[in-house]
Homo-oligomer: A and B are copies of this chain.
Amino acid sequence: MILEDSVLEKEISQAVIRRMPRYYRYLGELLDEGVERISSGELSERMSVTASQIRQDLNNFGGFGQQGYGYNVSFLYEEIGKILGLDQNHNIIIIGAGNLGQALANYMKFDRLGFHTIALFDVKEELIGKNIRGIEVLHVKELDHFVKTHDVDIAALTMPKSSADDIANHLVSLGIHAIWNFAHVDLSIDAKDVVVENVHLSDSLMQLSYNIVKNK
């Protein structure tokens, strides 16, 4: 049950990775219920996916299961946590301290997963100095100094789309390698080593609306 480097190094599809947080969530719930081990069949029923899908997904990372024993819940929970990088802390800054930025800063759940918001930035004078759960809203003009003097892993972009591209590229030039983009625009970032995760809320709404119409 030891992860081999060769297994971890192979390219795993983003579709598989997209399913991992869900495994992590269900395993966490099992842990809370005091369940120590679970068969792929039981896990399959609970998660409404096939047992073969579960085995295939987890085989990407070297398996974790033992024939006739099933999965050790806390071991699997921890290993998936490591795969997802949750054994590390990640500091987040939020650019745009409007409702959405404040909503993100308020999610205590993110802290429990190791994602800590350490500052918000905005240009609106009435927001500067505001305090959200002890996290301060700073003026954007302090951004450069802040990033240079703090350990920032992720920048969340929750400001209007018109300035998203400029800010994103500026953040990358300051050495930030991960962008959580809520602005409704595809960012054009030249640097190859920057990862971007988009949350396009209106796309999600359109997907819903397509299914409403299709269902009628």
Contacts and interface: CB of A to CB of B under 8 A. Distances in A.
Contacts of A195: 208, 211-212, 215
A140 B94 CA distance: 31
Nearest to A14: B207
A173 to B, nearest CB: 17
A95 to B, nearest CB: 15
A21 interface: yes
- Interface bracket on A: 35 or more
A102 B102 CA distance: 10
A98 interface: yes
A109 B200 CA distance: 12
Nearest to A132: B99
Interface string A194-212: 0101011111111111111
Interface in A179-193: 180, 184, 186, 193
Contact of A86 (B84, B103, B193, B209): B209
Nearest to A154: B208
A64 interface: no
A7 B161 CA distance: 35
A100 to B, nearest CB: 4
Contacts of A85: 206, 209-210, 212-213
Contact of A178 (B24, B115, B180, B208): B208
Contacts of A106: 98-99
24 contacts: A18-B207, A21-B202, A21-B203, A22-B203, A25-B184, A84-B209, A85-B209, A85-B212, A85-B213, A86-B206, A88-B213, A90-B209, A100-B100, A109-B184, A109-B202, A113-B202, A154-B208, A177-B212, A180-B205, A197-B204, A197-B205, A197-B207, A197-B208, A197-B211
Interface in A1-17: 14, 17
A24 to B, nearest CB: 7
